[in-house]
Amino acid sequence: MESALDQIKLLASTANETTKRGLLITLRQIADSLEDSNDTIHRFGYLHLQTAAVKVGFDLQLFRLLCSAQGPLSLEEMAQSTKAELLFISAVKEVDSTHYAANTITKNLCEPVSEAGISHCFETVGPQFQTIPAFFKASGYKNPNDEVRTVFQEAWKTADHAFAWFGTHPENLRYFNDYMALRREPQVSWLGVYPVPAEAKGSTPERALYVNIGGGIGHQCAQFKDRYPDIPGRVILQDLAHSIEKALQTPGVENLVHNFFDPQPIKGAKFYFIRGVLHNHPDHKVRQLLENTKAAMGPDSVLLIDEMVLPESGVNSYAAAMDLTMMAAFASMERTEAQWRKILKDVGLELKMTYNYNPPDEFINGATHMALAHNVMIRSLNAIYLQAPHIQPGEQPAFLRFAEVWHKSVEHHHKTEEDIFFPIIEEMSGQKGIMEVNAQQHNAFQSGLEAFIAYLRQCLAREAQFDGKYLVRILDGFAQVMCERLADEITTFVDFRNRGEKLKGYHARLVAEAQKVQQLGLLDDVMFMMANHDVDFEDGIHDFPPVPAVIAWGQRNVVWWAHYDWWAFAPCDRSGKMRPLDLPSE
């Protein structure tokens, strides 16, 4: 028994997020299967008490106190800080009979999204849950279809729609707005998958670029503006007056009071964006909203709907809970893809594309950043290889400089890995030699790199006559091995996630340490990356290299011209678009 539990604990400590989800579901199923009737009574019967106790903890700021403490706290210290007599502590781990310390649940409850979400559920949704049995008993267990005759109205003794009711209950509205803003953070966003720059090409300053319909207090507009500050066009937030009154004052964002069941006043926008709105309304109201939006759309307008899509079977507990909550509060539902397609077809719209997005963890982010850097090396290597045999005498100096910067980029990349990245990974993982294989792989093509740069320098010093075919033969000696090793390295970085907490935060540390020592030349190193990164790769979702927008503009519009003859051999033009290489026809 102990051995089995130890194995489960080990798995939990090293598992990635997907494995953890599966393990959590399995363990809960096992726990449920072990219950007798008394266990089941206590589990369901006291759920309200657990939530109430957590809410008291928020009010006392108890969880923040425990999370910020340097060690276990005594009951006396906790009572003194909270000014309360603690009769129950449901989410702290007892160290001994008189001291308490934060555990994983406590730390979860310290996060702003937890306080906002649980407070919203307790204060606003909880009374509805209490009313559900009586409401459906009285209605003969019929599915509600009138958005102002739902469990919500019965629970709160109001004739108002839920969103109108929020206007006179500011505390409930605050919890709701905070939870909606925090529950999907900026990195968990449609902006990570949808090709905004490509779709918005040709946008003008006077045209509405992005209209966020029912956008609350404007977090989505702020994220859009932050992500794409240089795309011209108006960014507009629309919502009811009580939300617009509290809206963020984001530079470049227009805050407009608008009821989306009225005609859409902004005509011909490029993007109309609706996030987490349609699931709050029954089908007939969704059709009304969509009709209003459709009537305002221009020939190239795009309607972006950011909503949950239920699977046809195997709905998880969270999605099922949301579906029932929407039914109780709004006579609405979460919808399957078939249901979304039907409701769009009903108003003459067609679903063109669906995008799934999930939070990319730091291991995926790290591997992605590494892959983009490797792509630059390989893309430019191909350009050198293909053009070398066809270089004319007058082009040789510039071509040699382009090839020299390629070598400098590769050497700099590998030196940074060996001197900074690999040692940090060894230290954080506690496993000496974990990156030894990768370091040895570098050695596999080092002699070829040395021969390559030696020949370039001889040609630049006019100690040897340039021969493009000879340069290709040097590349043939190591290029394939090098590309294979670069690909292997990406798999290594993805596999870091299997080491669990030990490597948590590794990518941020690598970047910080590299920035302390990197001496990248703006005239060659940074410009080289920009000249060899395809901005349309994967529909243009990657901001690479990761430099501020003002520096990127300066590189393309000013720095480029310092060595424009070098970049004539790059596979991308000044804007970062792939272009055909200047090769003789067959």
Catalytically active residues are 279
d(CA 478, CA 455) in angstroms, rounded, equals 15
Query: What residues have CB less than 8 Å from 476, skipping those under 6 apart?
Result: none
How many other C-beta atoms are found inside a 10 Å radius of the C-beta of residue 440?
Answer: 10
Helix (H, G, I), strand (E, B) or coil at 242: helix
- CA end-to-end span of the chain, whole Å? 72
**DSSP label of 332:** -
Instruction: Name the pairing type of β-strands 99-102 and 73-74.
Output: antiparallel
What phi and psi values does residue 402 have, to the nearest 5 degrees?
A: -60, -45
Distances (CA, A) of 425 to 10, 436, 487: 20, 11, 19
The length of the chain in residues reads 586
d(CA 423, CA 436) in angstroms, rounded, equals 10
- Both tokens of 267, joined, read 């005509």
Helix (H, G, I), strand (E, B) or coil at 274: strand
Identify each DSSP E strand in 277-392 by its residue range.
Answer: 302-306, 309-310, 335-336
Which H helix or E strand runs over 101?
strand 99-102
Distances (CA, A) of 49 to 44, 54, 156: 10, 9, 21
Distances (CA, A) of 308 to 277, 358, 464: 11, 12, 64
Helices vs strands, H then E, count in the chain: 29, 10
